[in-house]
Structure 1
Amino acid sequence: MIDFSKLGKQSQSSSIEPRDIFMALPEKSEYYEYPRDVQSEVWKQWFESRDNKNTIIKMNTGSGKTVVGLTILQSCLAEGKGPAVYVVPDTYLIKQVCNEAKKLGVKTTQDEDDYDFIMKRAILVINIHKLINGKSVFGMRRSNNVEIGSALIDDAHACIETIGSQFMVKIPSTNDAYNEIEELFDSTLKTYSEQKYQEIVKQHDPYSTMLIPFWSWQEKTQDVRNVLNKYREDDNIKFHLPLIDIYLSICNCIISASDIEITPKCIPINKIQSFEQAERRIFMSATLADDSVFVTSLGLKTTELSNIITPDKASDIGDRLLLFPQVINKKLSDVDIKTILKSLSQEYNVVVIVPSYKRKDFWEDEADLIMDYQTIYDGVAKLKSGHVGLAVLVNKYDGIDLPDEACRILVIDGLPNMRSEYNSFIQSVNPSSKELLREQIQKVEQGMGRGVRSNNDYCVAVLMGKGLSDIIIRANGKQYFSKATQKQFELSQQLWDQICEENQTPSLEEIFSLADYSLRKPRNKDWIKVSKDVLSSVSYDTQPHFDSISVAFRNAFEKASISQYSDAVKIIEKVKNATTDERTKGYLMQIMAEYINFINPAEAQQLLLSGIQYNLGILRPIQGIQCNKLINKTTSQAQAVVDYIVENHLDPNNYVIKINAILENIAFTQNTASHFEAAIKEIALALGFVSSRPEFERGKGPDNLWGIGNNKYLVIECKNGTITDTIKKHDCNQLNGSKIWFENEYKGNAFFCTPIMIHNSCVFDYACSPDPSTRIITPVLLDKFRNNVSKFVENITKVGTYKKVGITQQVLSQFNLLGDQIVDCYTTPYTIK
């Protein structure tokens, strides 16, 4: 029945200001009687600049971001800037936002065909997958795309990871399309690196990858497109290919035994037309320190982001005490830390975030709860409802709330994984990449934020892993933390300093006794006061910060996407000329060559040849290069150790951290071949030897080559992922081949090499014919080597001995690390089964 009394009446409130809208909401819960100060501050700033197409709002986790976002979109609707869409990283958060809206009295829907959404009266709440995919109703239809007037992306940094995966075609090796694409590049892969080709295509080694050389990729782009179109109804292709199809020639392609991964150099977000044409786009994120990702992944212009909206002060963040046990005491092991955390979990909920299922296995024997993407909702509910104990969360650094007693101790165990195989390639070629360092640090900070969800909440955050300590401390990754987290890190470090003054190697119990200041009830008032005081002085940075190389990548990509390749080259060349880091310079020259190849293939090859002088890891030119022989240093080994310390600007603490991070990667672990080989090279340099990775750097030769003095060399093949009881014929032949390679490259110079295999076993299969001089490094011997390197570092970093050449020489000898001692002390003869 129609109620005619409702017709012709206007809404009671005509205000479009967010705070007024909030106060006038008639059905909101009593909990929302008044807004928080930080919410009012953000609303006011946004309203004054609301006519900007793009706006970034930074607020700390737990400061009421959802209410801010919903009210802003309600304001947009009131002003006639609808339809309004609220976008979150995952399905779990859709429910969370809708529940919050219900308590607030704001009408929402999850259906784009909902009448109230169409009539611009309700906010559509969706996840980022719904907005961005190759079949998106928001821009990928030929007609009748769902219009967006105002879009708000919540947890923008978390959404960007999903956006990246949507703009990626990943074809598993079980798919026929994989085989057809591999066949297109079969001869190219063989020519470029026969060994890698055999590992991937013939042996199906799960740990080997290859970047398809750009000259071959560009030449066969249309052939690749034909294959992809042939299988375009496959789920791996149909939701992804339409997003990158027209950019295929300027994509990167990585092939491995498990899949083929095709990714654009930057994200062409303009493919989602309704989002691109939205009148207002609001990006809400945590208060992270670098804004380059808004440019590279979301296509925003640096000129558009002259001002970032933030609360006036950082006092909206809760109390967080940080512990870094393996920085405070370098001798502590992961097992030690796991044991004490299990003990603490009897009293507190302890949540451990691990980067992978493989690392999950380390915790499984002590875990009371394990959560992944399938079980996370029930797991979080259990933690919120009471005491669970020790919970492990697999690769989930954002998008969940663990307030109050749900999580009193939050552990970040190790470095987060790279977003793509191409990023892993960049990391291997250019370890100093600021973009990748920033990405990992920001993910760590997002993870640390799970345990503090309001101003009154508190949590102890524990950082684990020598790799994590290496990038945060030695590589100064902490500069990419937000200002508030940097302050909390500095305050916590002052606590560490005080206990180290009393004992240079404090016990695990002494270190974790610091947690009592934050956790033990009644809570320590002095700690609470100083913790709040350090944050009260922190003001948010309203000026955006961009990495010049990341911005150049975006600008060059946009030029190349419209075939202006010369302009793209000039953009990259400018930042190349400005960088002082040689490996970065070499990598940038490879990017330049990729664009030059479209207009002058010969010049592209010459540029690669020049780039290799700076970075041996970049793509090698078609015509190949002469192998520069690895010549032993004329200085003493001890002097070379001191030179290494000086050249890397290492004080005693940072030297210990760096070596520990290297040694952490020297272990018998599957799926770590690239990191292992890089660590074997780096530890040789740290010990004063010369070292290279011929197979990685030139496509031929052994995994590692050490020059240990007196014309003696070690030809090393690394099989640290092996678990077999014997050495197989293929591995034996590979080592024999590497010895022959050495003899060909170094013939006529009285050079001598010892072929060494790092393997789980020292027994060859009966069908093998190893060179008689072959030696084996077994897990036991590798551990002995690692332990002696640790003891060496510990001894030369003592007061009065650091950087003293004479003492360094003595300590090298004491721990059997001189060149003449390596083979005798850390290798064993083989036997044949």
Structure 2
Amino acid sequence: MGIFDKIKNVESGMEKKKTNPIEIFNSLNHKMGYEYLRDIQATFLKEWYLSREERDVVGIANTGSGKTLIGLLMLYSKMNEGIGPVVYLCPDNQLVEQVVMEAEFHGIPVTQIRRESPDSRQEMPIDFINSQAILITTFEKMYNGHSIFGVTETGNREIQDIGALLIDDAHTCIKKARKQSSFLIPKDHDMYKEILDLFERDLESQGSGVFHAIKKGEKTVARLVPYWSYQNKIKVLKKIIEKNDVQENFYMYIPFNLIFDYLEKSNCYISGDGIEITPLQLPLDKIPSFFKAKHRFVLSATFNNMPELITELGISKDACLHPINIKKESAVGERLIIAPKRYSSELTNNDMKSLIKLYWEKKGYNIVILVPNIRKAQIWEKEGALIVDKENICDAVNKLKNGNNNFMVLINRYDGIDLWGNMCHLLILDGLPKGKSIRDIAVAHMRSESPLTKATTAQTIEQGLGRSVRSGSDYCVTLLLDDNLLNFISNNNNRKYFSETTRAQLDLGISLSMDFFKEKRNLIEAKNEIVGTINLVLDRNPDWISYYKTITEQYLERYTTVSNEESLILAQDEYIVLSYYKSNKISDAVNIIREKFIANGNLVDSDIGWYFQLAAQIMNRFDETEANNLQVKAKELNSNLLIPRFPDYSKKTKNKTVQAMNVKKWIVVYSTGTDLKIAIDSILSKLLYVPNADSNIFEDAIKKLGDFLGYTSSRPEQERNDGPDNLWVSENNSFIIECKNQGTSQLLPRKDMEQVLHSLVWYQNYFLDQGNISGIIFRKSNILAKNCHAGENIYSVNQEKLDSLKTNVSNFSAALCEKSPNEWTISDIEKLLRQNYLLENQFIQNFTVNFK
């Protein structure tokens, strides 16, 4: 037999590799108990196989539905197809180990990046390079400035060509991509002071109060450095960064190769805790293994904020618009969400803490609390809870896995921790999630009214709610304790940002409490009702289980799917804008902003303002005058954006409002009178004359109270670095308000009176039509210092009058609770306002006194 005969015989004997993922599964050598695909997995894989030629595929698979195996089979199929190496990207090492274990259960060939010795550098596994095994690693292993997959123009590593990659838990990976592309400088590093000093005057010009809060070290306050100042001082900033690009400065050394070339097209955010310098668009092109991968698959349990996949990772609009989403509610598990205050407004957090501790101390349950900050965590620590942080997280998880009677509080960990089975059947959410990064905090302030911000918040809440229900057989009771959290969830305008399953669970919780609240039961009865409901879930009462399934299915049948096509189109347009800017196609970038965003009649004003500011930033290097004009328009539409370098000093027309009509608009965002009452009580609870209290919280509460009472309410000093703390404007009256809630002296100092006099002048200079103008000082005492004299039409809301105002507002909100917010007419609301002396022409007479 000749050589050609031998080759022919080998070729004819070679079996073609399978590419159908279900056929692949059936051919594997599974461990006992893992021989079958679930229906939801098979359905998902069949749908994917039909679209397997698409470059980008987005898949939504509920927690517990077998998402990991789905992803492994997708990659195995592409590897058998012969398109090149394939990689499964996880958000953390914990999930890497879980994926490897899942692969072992089914005999799927996988590999990991290892070191041959402690002193050697990591190398790519040869079976991965030869497409003989799926590489399992973290997203950050691929996406960082010293990536083992190679970084453009560095030469440290060979660029790896990737046939297919899969991103698991995509939104967590997006945060990691942003972090790896940013310089994050902590306050205790010398660079912090250098950069803060560099931009000190620029920040102070945006608001002296905020600037001093940053100087004092306030972690929750973060602001954007004005882009014109950043661009003008970029050479000095680069020198500061270059001299600190040493391996010891880990947070500078690692991202340097990704961001430095794009430093001029970046933003700088400064808080009291640190500095974040990050590009407008992630430099994905620096990591060709990701940017040029032949196929990119994205899997997650929820996609409340789908546009982020486009703007941050460059995933195609069509993939996001048509995700593979196999719905099977039985894979979700059982989650009862209870808001205790919906049962009785008299229930305090202390009442609930005592109740919760009974399940820990007496019944031995594992209880986990999620909080947004250390302050909240320390409150729970005093109750006996263990604070869990990055230092003890592994030990804490093991304790939850292997035992009972654990009481733990986690800070800002709404994702990344799986509390399955008996690890946690009682979960507490105490606080509205806040952005983790300095950029997140600053952007959330500037875009507070944006659907994007609300979708991000909803997504974080939903991730938190899902920590303790990780499979179809899992169950949990979740208690919502924080008023701000409850107000967000109760707002009808925010409900659309939650998944249908979560909405059904929220609606079930409302239905259980609504009738009880209306019956006006006492505090003890409310506690007993809550305990009884919790016990039905924890004791696995069969009638409850049947009731839960029936009611949630009924809710799900009522919901209609809301198309997100427009938001995805805008996300794609934004990605194109930033790509043009990165390539110095300035006119093209600004033209798209004008055509697609500024002229878009469906965007809220605050978002149009945001895109005006983006256009101004892009334009600034080439036409500073036009950039300033754009920034002026941005500020007019969104008061939280940057104050222009050269503001428009022309007088404005006062925005007159009809009070009762505005109250109606305010209350109809709530589904029930109960939620409305909780929202108002939350505002009133922050109106306290207390030394050392946070003045920002008081001023924000005055702003929200003005909104509720039907005024056009604003905070000029915060928004414009000029004018009063607060401004309430109505049809015929304008109240110029200064807040001195921290005042300890009985005597009003001269400087406080001068401040309100200055604000009155500011108002007269700022507005054309002025009407009746009154100055109001919120302060405990209305007695003047000897060298202080009250001006005309300047009044005091002292302790007595503040108490009176809070009582009347509380009575007004209680009356509104008597029926559904939608049922109130404007004339009825006006009547209630009059009965409680809350009409604009009644305010001064009933809730202020003269100074003496």
Please indicate the TM-score interval, normalised by the length of the shorter structure.
Answer: 0.7 to 0.9
Shift of 1:627: 8.0
1:109 alignment partner, one of 109, 112, 125: 112
- Secondary structure of 2:159's match? coil
Whether 2:61 is the aligned partner of 1:36: answer no
The residue aligned with 1:164 is: 178
Structure 1 residue 225: Cα displacement: 2.4
Equivalent residues of 1:314, 1:535 under 8 A apart: no
> 1:188 aligns to what SS in structure 2?
helix
Maintained 8 Å contact 1:73/1:84: yes
What's the CA shift for 1:54? 1.4
2:408 aligned counterpart, secondary structure: strand
Given candidates 626, 633, 644, the residue that maps to 1:603 is 626
Whether 2:642 is the aligned partner of 1:619: answer yes
The equivalent of 1:119 in structure 2 is 130
2:546 partner letter: D
Partners of 2:801 and 2:185 lie apart in 1 by 40
Match of 1:154 in 2: 168
Q: CA deviation at 1:171?
A: 1.8
Equivalent residue runs for 1:54-133 within 5 Å: 54-106=56-108, 107-111=110-114, 112-133=123-144
Contact 1:715 1:738 in 2 (8 A): no
Amino acid corresponding to residue 184 of structure 1 in structure 2? L
1: CA distance between counterparts of 2:299 and 2:749?
A: 56
> 1:811 offset after TM fit, Å?
1.8
Partner residue in 1 for 2:118: none
Matches for 1:318-337 after TM superposition, within 5 Å:
318-337=333-352
Per the TM alignment, residue 13 of structure 1 is displaced from its structure 2 partner at its CA by: 8.7
Using the aligned pairs only, state the percent identity. Answer: 30
Which of 500, 514, 520 is residue 539 of structure 2 equivalent to? 520
Q: Which residue of 1 aligns with 2:476?
A: 459
Q: Distance in 2 between matches of 1:587 and 1:624?
A: 17
Aligned equivalents of 2:347 and 2:591: distance in 1? 49
Counterpart in the other structure of 2:159: 145
Q: In structure 2, do the counterparts of structure 1 residues 769 and 491 end up closer, same or farther at CA, with 3 Å as the change threshold?
A: same
Cα 1:303/1:533, change in 2 over 3 Å? closer
Answer whether contact 1:792 1:812 (CA < 8 A) is retained.
no
* Pairing 1:681-830 to 2, within 5 Å after superposition: 681-688=703-710, 691-705=713-727, 713=735, 715-717=737-739, 735=752, 738-739=755-756, 741-742=758-759, 744-745=761-762, 753-756=775-778, 771=788, 789-798=809-818, 803-812=828-837, 818-823=843-848
CA contact (8 A) 2:778 2:798 kept: no
Q: Is the Cα–Cα contact under 8 Å of residues 184 and 277 in structure 2 kept in the other structure?
A: yes
Q: In structure 2, what is the equivalent of residue 656 of structure 1?
A: 677
The answer to which of 439-448 and 208-217 deviates more is 208-217
Q: Is the 8 A contact 1:21 1:71 kept in 2?
A: yes
Distance (Å, rounded) in 1 between the aligned partners of 2:824 and 2:329? 44
Q: Aligned partners of 1:467 and 1:244: how far apart in 2?
A: 36
Tell me: CA distance 1:102–1:541, structure 2 relative to 1, closer, same or farther (3 Å). Answer: farther
In the alignment, structure 1 residue 568 sits paired with structure 2 residue 589: yes
Tell me how far apart the structure 2 counterparts of residues 453 and 747 of structure 1 sit (CA, whole Å): 60
Contact 1:85/1:124 (<8 A) preserved: yes
* Structure 2 residue identity aligned to 1:376: I
Kindly indicate whether the alpha-carbon contact (under 8 Å) linking 1:315 and 1:535 is maintained by their aligned counterparts in 2.
no
* Deviations 1:648-682 (CA, angstroms, capped at 9, x unpaired): 64566364354345446657799976555333222
> 1:483 matched to which residue of 2?
500
Instruction: Give the match's secondary structure for 2:722.
Output: coil
Distance in 2 separating the partners of 1:11 and 1:375: 53
Q: Distance in 2 between matches of 1:310 and 1:791?
A: 48
Is 1:223 aligned to residue 225 of structure 2? no
Against the structure 1 CA distance between its residues 700 and 386, is the aligned structure 2 distance closer, same or farther, given a 3 Å change threshold? same
3-state SS, counterpart of residue 514 of structure 1: helix
For 2:50, the aligned partner's letter is E
- Equivalent position to 1:278, from 277, 293, 304: 293
Listed one character per residue, the Cα deviations across residues 68-88 of structure 1 (whole Å, up to 9, x for unaligned) are 222322333333344222211
Q: Which residue pairs with 2:314 in the alignment?
A: 299
C-alpha change, 1:207 and 1:462, in structure 2 (3 Å) is closer
The answer as to whether partners of 2:736 and 2:759 remain within 8 angstroms in 1 is no
- Give the C-alpha shift of residue 45 in structure 1: 2.1
Partners of 2:164 and 2:587 in 1: CA distance: 37
Segment of structure 1 superposing worse, 109-118 or 615-624: 109-118
Are the counterparts in 1 of residues 304 and 456 from structure 2 also a CA contact under 8 Å? Answer: no
Please state if 1:556 is matched with 2:577. yes
Cα distance in 2, alignment partners of residues 511 and 628 from structure 1:
56
Distance 2:731 2:824 in 1: 24
Aligned residues of 2:222 and 2:269 also touching (Cα < 8 A): yes
Aligned residue type for 1:232: D
SS in 2 for 1:460: strand
Distance 1:787 1:805, change over 3 A: closer
Match of 1:365 among 364, 374, 382: 382
Shift in alpha-carbon separation, 1:412–1:229, aligned structure 2, 3 A: same
Whether the aligned pair in 2 keeps the contact of 1:474 and 1:658 (CA below 8 Å) is no
The normalised TM-score by structure 2 is 0.83
Q: 1:541 Cα shift?
A: 7.7
Q: Distance in 1 between matches of 2:817 and 2:739?
A: 31
How far, CA to CA, are the matches of 1:686 and 1:372 in structure 2? 39
Deviations 1:391-420 (A, max 9, x none): 322221222222222221222222111243
Give distance in 2, aligned partners of 1:231 and 1:656: 53
In the TM superposition, what are the counterparts of 1:627-646 in structure 2 within 5 Å?
640-641=659-660, 643-646=662-665
Is the deviation greater in 781-790 or in 173-182?
A: 781-790
Residue 763 of structure 1 deviates from its aligned partner by 13
Match of 2:27 in 1: 24
Q: Is the 8 A contact 1:694 1:701 kept in 2?
A: yes
Query: 2:6 aligns to what?
Result: none
- Structure 1: give runs of 5+ residues left out of the alignment: 1-7
Unaligned 5+ segments in structure 2 are 1-9, 115-122
Query: 1:3: which partner in 2?
Result: none
Between 253-262 and 184-193, report the one with greater CA deviation.
184-193
Deviates more, 1:656-665 or 1:248-257: 656-665
Q: Distance in 2 between matches of 1:315 and 1:669?
A: 53
Cα pair 2:91 2:168 within 8 Å, conserved: yes
Do 1:411 and 1:464's aligned partners in 2 also have CA atoms closer than 8 Å?
yes
Deviation at 1:156, TM superposition (A): 0.9
1:436 to 448, 453, 456: 453
2:7 match? none
Cα deviation 1:365-386 (Å, max 9, x = unaligned): 3344432232222222222223
Task: Please report how far the alpha carbon of residue 697 of structure 1 lies from its aligned counterpart in structure 2 after TM superposition.
Answer: 2.0
Contact 1:703 1:718 (8 Å CA) reproduced: no
Distance change in 2, residues 1:559/1:452 (3 Å): same
Matched, 1:469 2:486: yes
2:322 is paired with a residue of what secondary structure?
A: coil
State the shift of 1:52 in Å: 1.9
Q: Structure 1 stretch 391-400 or stretch 513-522: which is displaced more? A: 513-522
Is 1:585 matched up with 2:602?
Answer: no
Counterpart of 1:180 in structure 2 is: 194
* Structure 1 residues 354-503: aligned runs within 5 Å: 354-500=371-517, 502-503=519-520
Distance 1:393 1:780, change over 3 A: farther
Asked if the contact 1:630/1:690 (under 8 Å) is kept, the reply is no
Query: Matches of 2:607 and 2:367 in 1, distance apart?
Result: 40
Counterpart CA distance in 2 for 1:645 and 1:538 is 26
- Rounded Cα–Cα distance in structure 2 between residues aligned with 1:123 and 1:676: 56
Give the aligned residue type for 1:560.
Y
User: Residue 5 of structure 1 aligns with which residue?
Assistant: none
The residue matched to 1:476 in structure 2 has which SS?
helix
Kindly tell me: are residues 477 and 208 of structure 1, through their superposed partners in 2, closer, same or farther at Cα, counting changes over 3 Å?
closer
> Counterpart amino acid of 2:582?
S
